[in-house]
Amino acid sequence: MRETVYVLGGAQTKFGELWNKSLSDLIREAVDGAIASTGIMPTDIDMVVIGNMVGGETAEQAHLGTLASSMLPHRPPSLRVEAACASGGLAVHTACAFLESGKAETILVIGAEKLTDVANDIVTSALMRAGDAEKDAPAGLTFPSIFALSATAYMHKYSLKREDLSLVSENSHKAAIKNPYAQFRKEIPAAAISKSPLIADPLRLLDCSPISDGAAAVILSTKHESSVHIAASQLASESLSLTDRESLTSFMSTRTAFVRALSESGWDKNSIDALELHDCFSIATLIHLEDLGYAEEGDAIRIFRQGDAGLDGALPINMSGGLKACGHPIGATGVKQILDCFKQLSGTANNQVTDMKRALAHNLGGVGATCTVHLLENIA
């Protein structure tokens, strides 16, 4: 990072089916909470960046930058960014770039999505826009079925068993019990996950992150200081369509973003204490762990089998409940991951990992077509 970017604080709404709240209600709640959590005045904010994917289709609202800016008394300049499910991570990355360039000193970063106002059909087709509209979608694919293609290939290549795959969602659900903002705060045993209805073979309902509403906001600054800073912010791309990929069982974008993030921060990957991974589908978590180098190819499931991913494990993963159990309001997720890392690093998380110094937030758009990686550190 060219400048030290501090995370001053942040807030999120509850994630879930929030029929009593509109998209702007959600944004306002997160913004008010975020400002209140820090010592700064609203007018200290000199820019707003918001991540959102399908506001136009599911809330009939575009132009979200100004919508959010209008909530502040002085209407600072604002913009909306989009990279499918990585819109939130992209918002944080964009804010970092503005802060590093000196164009802004204190930025309000928001991620928000409102999905449950419209019928399932509309959400399904809106989410499929994360894939390739000419090469992938015309065959009648839905978003879960794209990841199912990855899962089929992975299970075939590495002989992964169904019972094992369920351990991934089980871990997320267990963590979410303590998270008051989570959509599902209930322990679900692996056996029940293995028996849930099929969505796109081999993926079942409880392999998939849910359709959620929600918003999250964090305030980043180079002017005001705090004990947590962002040590690296990286963005990487891979071909949009699966038909242009070499491999279905590894995402080059994750590998590229993480290698660059490690070199930007000068960290060793083993010095990171906990991970927030983009577990949009159970299979994705396994692929990420291998792409990040925490497991050999085909062997990531061992981390879950050995219980290493839990709160007391060697590498706690998704202690917020992740996308699977905390919920996945598309654009909000990447910002909420930064918020969860901030809570862990400032010692205020509900599933507090002991001795937290360094955390990783990994946000993915499409089937690994976009990836953002953020490394956060407590420097107190």
Partner 1 sequence: MDRIPALHRRIKELANARLQPGVIESFTIVRHPPAGFGTEPYAVALIRLEDGTKVMAQLTRDSAEPMIGATVIPHMRRIRTMSNGLFVNDLKYEVVAMKTAPVFTVISYVLAVSGPSGVGKTTIARQLLTLFHSYAEQVPILTTRKAKKSDTEPYIHVSKEEFDSLLAKKEIISWTHMPSSTEQRYYGYRKRDIEAIWKKGKLPIVVTEINLLKGLVESLGRRAVLSCGLLPPGRSKRLMLSALLHRLRTRGRDTEEQIVERLKIAEADLKAFTDHAHLFDHMLVNDELGVCVETIRELVATVK
Given 58, 152, 209, 333, the residue binding partner 1 (CB under 8 A): 152
Q: What are phi and psi of 298, to 5 degrees?
A: 85, 0
How many Å apart are CA 17 and CA 118, to the nearest integer?
11
Q: Which residues of 334-347 are buried (b: 16+ CB within 10 A; e: fewer)?
A: bbbbbbbbbbbbbe
Task: Tell me whether residue 70 or residue 239 sits nearer to partner 1 (CB atom).
Answer: 239
Please, are residues 29 and 248 in contact by the beta-carbon 8 Å criterion? no
Alpha helices (runs of H) in 70-182, residue ranges in sequence order = 87-101, 120-128, 143-158, 162-176
Given 19, 20, 159, 266, the residue binding partner 1 (CB under 8 A): 159
Please, are residues 7 and 230 in contact by the beta-carbon 8 Å criterion? yes
Given 82, 136, 290, 291, the residue binding partner 1 (CB under 8 A): 136
299 binds partner 1 (CB under 8 A): yes
Calculate the CA 41 to chain-centre distance: 28
Q: Minimum distance between the CB of residue 15 and partner 1, rounded to whole angstroms? A: 22
Pairing of strands 47-51, 106-113: parallel
208 binds partner 1 (CB under 8 A): no
198 binds partner 1 (CB under 8 A): yes
60 binds partner 1 (CB under 8 A): no
Q: Which of 85, 208, 280, 341 is catalytic?
A: 85
Given 148, 231, 240, 284, the residue binding partner 1 (CB under 8 A): 148
Active-site annotation holds for 326: no
309 binds partner 1 (CB under 8 A): no
224 binds partner 1 (CB under 8 A): no
Which residue in this structure is represented by tokens 């501090």?
6
Task: Tell me whether residue 144 or residue 321 sits nearer to partner 1 (CB atom).
Answer: 144
- Mask: binding to partner 1, 108-127, rule CB under 8 A, as x and -? -------------x--xx--
Angle at 128 between CA 328 and CA 213, to 5 degrees: 25
How many Å apart are CA 41 and CA 36, to the nearest integer?
9
Q: What are phi and psi of 200, to 5 degrees?
A: -150, 110
Calculate the CA 124 to chain-centre distance: 19
Given 197, 266, 312, 355, the residue binding partner 1 (CB under 8 A): 197
Active-site annotation holds for 85: yes
Q: Which of 328, 341, 362, 371 is catalytic?
A: 328
Please give the residue ranges that form the binding site for partner 1 (CB under 8 A): 121, 124-125, 128, 135-136, 138-142, 145, 148-153, 156-159, 197-203, 241-244, 248, 298-299, 302
Q: Which residues are part of the catalytic machinery? A: 85, 328
